[in-house]
Copies of this chain bind each other. A is one copy, B any other.
């Protein structure tokens, strides 16, 4: 009989398995957030965060989750009734535009099939048609955590530039930041939304925004009510290393250690590692004779892979078996994908052998559930992991 002892495998696409050194860093005693040690910590963190976002501008750390950082992006830059363009890339894009509606924005939601990223041509069409510039922001999920599809943000930027449209570009990089190449400044993103619990390898509890000058200017006139999420007092207090309200001190300890790990490995190497792990995972899926949900190889996610189960097979049954027999948590299909896909997270501080164990667990789970698969999926992944 199998057993669930041993280290749990947390292979959902976030929260990711937090490195033990980050957990220990977080266990340090809480200090005075108005004192000199705290101020020095903040200043170090803000410096070390910038290259992760690819920005030279401010990064705002909210003591909140990534969902909060979504809200902050909207309420800091927009006014009641503003039109905003969203692209339906999957469940999280759907949630974000629903938030926008709740906050009183006028949402234009470009439909999608949940197997492709945001369509630059469609965005271009909408912007070109918007002669009056009623659209105030284009909102794109960079890496759809529900589908494993990565939108091509530079192409969206290009659509904005080609039409000369002044809309802000707001990007959810929650499940790509610190795992894949991301360039807030170079790509002309105005607000980047991120959270602590994915590539930053922390527990949930921090929401982050990188903010362009244009976004800061928009904030001066934006009229959605805001207080907790207001960037301006944070950026002002941050200049001296402080926060206007109580920050999540111990998560910040963890953030410092996580950033140390990222920079010690080197961001290019971090990105290459995630790319390899994505490729190895897809090699396994294809080796099993199954489909990856993402339909366009240009848009394969480096951080998670959604596996389409053959008709008549329930992905949640596979997940339950894998959890029960092997102690591994996999991601469920969300929204319209419920029961149809399972999502394998391969992001954060993941090593080759943990990925190998993960794929072995998925393979065993599929077999146990009676899903017909070809032999050789895991071997195909190992061939790739073994390659120089």
Contact = CB atoms under 8 A, between A and B. Distances in A.
Instruction: Tell me which of A7, A18, A204, A379 has the highest count of chain B C-beta atoms within 10 A of its own C-beta.
Output: A204
A56 interface: no
Contacts of A1: 269, 272, 276, 388
A241 interface: no
B197 A3 contact: no
A298 interface: no
A245 to B, nearest CB: 4
Interface in A363-387: 363-364, 367-368, 375, 378-379, 382, 385-386
Contacts of A82: none
Nearest to A245: B67
Nearest to A265: B5
A24 interface: yes
Interface in A1-22: 1-10, 12, 14-21
Contacts of A328: 353
Interface in A201-227: 203-205, 224-227
Contacts of A317: none
A76 to B, nearest CB: 12
Contact of A367 (B247, B356, B386): B386
Contact of A20 (B20, B35, B66, B361): B20
A332 interface: yes
A332 B382 CA distance: 24
Contact of A225 (B225, B349, B368, B375): B225
Given A18-B29, A31-B8, A225-B225, A2 B205 contact: no
Contact of A71 (B228, B246, B378): B228
A162 interface: no
A99 interface: yes
Contacts of A26: 23, 26-27, 250
Instruction: Tell me which of A8, A63, A68, A327 has the highest count of chain B C-beta atoms within 10 A of its own C-beta.
Output: A63
Interface string A221-243: 00011111010000000000000
A338 interface: no
A23 B31 CA distance: 13
A53 to B, nearest CB: 20
Nearest to A357: B357
Nearest to A22: B27
A125 interface: no
A353 B246 CA distance: 26
Contact of A329 (B6, B16, B35): B35
Given A3-B269, A80-B225, A63 B353 contact: no
A64 interface: yes
B356 A30 contact: no
Contacts of A157: none
Contacts of A98: 227
Nearest to A197: B246
B225 A102 contact: yes
A3 B80 CA distance: 49
A181 B123 CA distance: 57
A78 B308 CA distance: 45
B7 A63 contact: no
Nearest to A38: B329
Contact of A353 (B12, B361, B379): B361
18 contacts: A7-B20, A9-B353, A17-B29, A18-B29, A18-B250, A20-B20, A20-B23, A24-B27, A27-B27, A30-B204, A63-B204, A68-B228, A75-B225, A102-B225, A203-B249, A204-B249, A326-B352, A326-B353
- In order of increasing CB-CB distance, the 4 nearest A-B pairs are A6-B351, A357-B357, A356-B360, A67-B245
